[in-house]
Amino acid sequence: MTLHTTSVGDGPLEVVFLHGLFGQGKNWLTVAKAVSDLARCHLVDTPNHGRSSWTHVFDYDEQADIVADWVREHTATPTVIVGHSMGGKIAMRLALRHPELVKALVVVDISPARNVSALRFTTLVAGLKSLRLDEIASRGYADQQLAERIPDDGLRRFLLQNLQRTEGHWSWLPNLDLLGDHLHEIGGWEPIVGHFDGPTLWVAGGRSDYIRPEHAQAMRELFPMVRQITLKRAGHWVHSDDPESFVATLRQFLAQLD
């Protein structure tokens, strides 16, 4: 299993960043550069995304174990793990299953709970799969073709970052079939025994509904040292919607780690 990663910075801490559904490690680049004096940052394409290998099934524990193997081999553990959305669930499972590898945890706008918001991607996946790749003349043409199915300009362009041209042919980087067929699992959270006692920062977007008040108890039980912060101006893509506040929050958290 090969994970594609990019490393930025030369600070004393090691930080691994995990992106959300249909993202790539490079989505964290701006944040990583902003904390590069505090940490060596590793931007990971999670399995089935970007330039990393594909799996046969979608299972959060398998994903966490794959990332844990990479962390064990490539970083001076223990490491700070930062995860957004789907990547946040992978990060939580990693910390719970491999606590010896994790110095601290940052979970961005996701909970250890079932979250129906992932099912919203059903129509998006259908839109992407409707694109006839053999007819694409340019990325701009693909954008025009998807405009009716995915009218949100920002979301559509985010998704189109996954379109690549290799040797004259267009293809999708993520495993669209597997991810589209497992949205229920991606939105889920299987019960897990144990807890992670390290520092945990839980960052919510004030305009997002991914974190709900009823999720707080489960979060405290699994992560007793959790501290929650809400960035009021941000939606679900917290680090993109309010990058200045997110970077300031992350820098403060990292600076407090021994």
Question: Which residue is catalytic, options 42, 52, 84, 85?
Answer: 85
* Cα separation, 234 vs 248, whole angstroms: 14
Expressed in angstroms, the distance from the first to the final Cα of the chain is 32
Question: Which residue is catalytic, options 37, 152, 177, 181?
Answer: 177
Measured in degrees and rounded to the nearest 5, phi and psi for residue 201 equal -105, 125
Write down the residue that tokens 């794959």 correspond to: 66
134 is catalytic: no
Please compute Rg for the chain using Cα positions: 18
Write down the residue that tokens 């995304």 correspond to: 49
42 is catalytic: no
Measured in degrees and rounded to the nearest 5, phi and psi for residue 80 equal -85, 130
85 is catalytic: yes
Catalytic positions are: 85, 177, 236
